[in-house]
Structure 1
């Protein structure tokens, strides 16, 4: 890494990219980047002293980064379109260009790495692992796929040490574009291997093959903690342990809801951690906490410390994040963008607030994902009482004929459903009699969160 003085990120506003950018800046590299949208995360990077341009022009790149290609590393995300001007320039001028995942692989090479993989749950689970370790005074660093509420960042830096082998590095291992295959962890968690990213993989079997390859890269003598029922044990030389909500080597017991909070025990081969009352709700988050606790126990953390950490964990932004929590009005925002995630989220909302009316605002993410899982989306979205459906957020994709929100809306099996624009939502909400409101999606629906919160907190703007 010391070969480079300048690090330029194409797509710096991505959650994983921004964590890397912050790591390089903290380690005294010159950092700059491009992103197409001025999101709150991009604004934070600029405030922290990292120049970010929103223009895909060569002239908008700081001159020092272009002076000598041998001194500048270009880091990019596969979400960047192929016709990107800056990327084409870097290729033509023979800059060193690496994917984010490749750079992450290089950084974690000399650290005791915990890789958290899975088509759902990896952001919460990896941040739970990192929080338990930090709470328990284990020297760790973490590259996370979300902004943790406890620390206000997606990057945790380890304390300085002369022996890097003592540092535990927690990494969210992303299956998109097979990025996690740059990692060779000592310990891994796999939360799920459902079909997703079929624009990359083509079919579910290829997704499974990629996960099998990932677990095959765990250090021999290392440990794999996988959700019970996944077919991965034969693909690794690591020691395999299973977990789930109600069975496996690590599982929960005595689950109940007290004061709108989930309370449960964690049962593991050597004992039990009793009466854990977590701030973050959801059956899926109990399962995520079991996986994280299993890793912590494996690393020698005490049950008492794990209990304290879980009870002080505040969650990740946009993962079951309460925006308004009043007796007569609740607003929760969630990043869910796959049918299984939406079902888990809405089922937990219904369990916490039985019999109450739910207004769901959903923005589909990607044309291919909407096409491939239209039936699953329609089934999971039918759990709400009222649906306000936004247009598809395209991200890196071009439109696909016949694939649109109108098609998806027709499949949803509730009567109170509406196709709306983002402006429509803000105009419509004050006129509706709302009880529980949820926003769901991974695109730019987050730009609505603040305005919706203001509407729902203002008693004069809502019936």
Structure 2
């Protein structure tokens, strides 16, 4: 096995992935020469190129470097990928992203944040508090922090905050000192097969916490009583039975003010400028980590108050003026029924009964097929829903599985199945005043054009 300290040149297959790019940036920060392949050019790959990483977009063994110490690939890359096959057949050290994360975290104090949803915002909050307070950490995130415009930052301190990805059971290679479990809902059933197997994996993840370590899990999780560690706190939103919870929540000019209550401490008047009640809950978990780390209360509150969120997580692209005039446009990565439920509930908590239009791009045929009823129920919380075609990602089409499968389960909201072009024409004509864009595919490419249609170029 290659030792981390000896790596001088590394090649990434799928370098533009959110988790892969964080690792690529880590190696660049250590002076390692980094290059990689991705299928398409994106704003993230362009940023990587500007940071000194050579990226190409053609699957071609004639252009790949042969003088590399290690090749890192993402499980999202097909096993028959020509470059991956070549490296494997010619004796190169070929490892998964999760293997590299294990190498990195073997000698550090690790805060690992897992969950079928909520993990990106929560891990970014934890990392931001540690950085903003001066405590310091190496951050490996599954989203772009709006405060720092990156998904990775280094630190001299041997502390790592890692988003623990359950896909392909990757998170089971990590060894947390502090672990957070935000949710254990059915997802990635193409990998796990059953909801029970998903839950089993999270129970295993909790069991990876080092002796003397701390587990922080959301109150009320199904099989939550099977999660255990030497120290275990549950957290929640207004759940007085939980060990730590948010209470006395007030809405102030589009922000939340609240108290965080623990039996041994209280943090009063926390201010969060990020929409969505679920993000208050996420902050309770992050604050609990900060208290475990011994960070002072005023530094924690200051960090939460200046937390700008994560790109594509309840991100405001347009906001009404001080008098409430003008359109509101919110973008979110939500691609699971529970995430959509939290997203739309958060919108309702801030905007009441204002007409809410949601544009949703389903992600994966398998997920749509498995969770169509749940998607329908969550989307029914909106007034109007536009369903775009399914984004396939790594999958081939499944017979009979289209966005219409979700529409079949909707009873309340007005629903339309439109192409991307038809959706944009509809927005231009109707000018919805509260528009939510959601999905994990390539819907982000539509954000600027739709924003232009709503704002008139302002």
Query: Which TM bucket (shorter chain)?
Result: over 0.9
More displaced 10-residue stretch of structure 1: 311-320 or 211-220: 211-220
The answer (yes or no) to whether the contact 2:73–2:95 under 8 Å persists in 1 is yes
Q: Is the 8 A contact 2:122 2:283 kept in 1?
A: yes
> In the alignment, what sits opposite 1:75?
72
Q: Normalising to structure 1: TM-score of the pair?
A: 0.94
The within-5 A match list for 1:398-413 is 398-413=396-411
Q: Could you say which residue in structure 2 is the equivalent of 1:240?
A: 232
Partner of 2:100: 103
Residue 452 of structure 2 is matched in structure 1 by 454
Contact persistence 2:431–2:454 (CA under 8 A): no
**Cross-structure match for 1:137:** 134
Superposed, 1:409-424 pairs within 5 Å as: 409-414=407-412, 416-424=414-422
1:58 equivalenced with 2:61 (yes/no): yes
Aligned partners of 2:143, 2:384: CA distance in 1, in Å?
28
The Cα shift of 1:390 comes to 0.7
Superimposed CA distance per residue, residues 6-49 of structure 1 (whole angstroms, 9 cap, x where no aligned partner): 21111111111000001101111111111112111111111212
Q: 2:58 aligned with 1:46, yes or no?
A: no
Aligned with 1:194: secondary structure? coil
Matches within 5 A, 1:95-174: 95-159=92-156, 166-174=157-165
Give distance in 1, aligned partners of 2:299 and 2:166. Answer: 31
TM-score between both structures, scaled by the size of structure 2: 0.95
Residue 416 of structure 1, CA deviation = 2.7
Residues 169 and 95 (structure 1), Cα distance of their counterparts in 2 relative to 1, 3 Å cut: same
Distance 2:413 2:178 in 1: 47
| Counterpart residue number, 2:303 | 309
Q: 1:183 aligns with which of 145, 152, 174?
A: 174
Aligned residues: 448
Residue 321 (structure 1) shift: 0.2
Q: What is the alpha-carbon distance in structure 1 between the residues aligned to residue 423 and residue 59 of structure 2?
A: 31
Compute the displacement of 1:139 (Å).
Answer: 2.2
Matched-pair contact (CA < 8 Å) for 2:72–2:94: yes
* Pairing partner for 2:330 from 305, 329, 332: 332
What residue is the counterpart of 1:2 in the other structure? Answer: 5
Question: C-alpha separation between the residues in 2 aligned to 1:36 and 1:432?
Answer: 35
For residues 12 and 457 of structure 2, the distance between their equivalents in structure 1, rounded to whole angstroms, comes to 44
| 2:366 corresponds to 1:368 | yes
Match runs of 1:210-249 below 5 Å: 210-230=201-221, 231-247=223-239, 248-249=242-243
Residue range with higher mean Cα deviation, 195-204 or 353-362 = 353-362
Q: Does 1:300 align with 2:302?
A: no
Q: What residue number does 1:342 align with?
A: 340
Mapped partners of 2:101, 2:136: distance in 1: 19
Compute the displacement of 1:270 (Å): 2.0
Post-superposition shift, 1:233? 5.0
Any stretches of 5+ residues in structure 2 without a counterpart?
A: none
CA contact (8 A) 1:111 1:167 kept: yes
Q: Is the 8 A contact 1:217 1:236 kept in 2?
A: no
| Structure 1 position 420, deviation (Å) | 1.4
Say whether the 8 Å CA contact 1:245–1:286 is kept in structure 2: yes
Q: Hey, what does 2:88 align to over in structure 1?
A: 91
Stretches of 4+ aligned residues off by more than 6 angstroms: none
Q: Which residue is 1:163 aligned to? A: none
Cα deviation, 1:254-276, whole Å, max 9, x if unaligned, reads 01212222111011122211111
Aligned match for 2:197, one of 201, 206, 209 = 206
Q: Which runs of 5+ in 1 are unaligned?
A: 160-165
Quick one: distance in 2 between partners of 1:103 and 1:110?
13
Tell me what 1:162 maps to. Answer: none
The offset of 1:235, in angstroms, is 4.8
- Closer/same/farther in 2, CA of residues 275 and 235 from structure 1, 3 Å limit: closer
Equivalent in the alignment of 1:319? 313
Q: Secondary structure at the match of 2:120?
A: helix
2:418 matched to 1:426?
A: no
Q: Distance between the aligned counterparts of 1:191 and 1:352, measured in 2?
A: 23
Query: Does the 8 Å contact 2:113/2:164 carry over to 1?
Result: yes
Does the 8 A contact of 2:427 with 2:453 survive in 1?
yes
Contact 1:374-1:408 at 8 Å conserved across structures: yes
Paired residue for 2:26?
A: 23
CA deviations 1:227-261 (Å, max 9, x no partner) are 11233454544311111112311101101212222
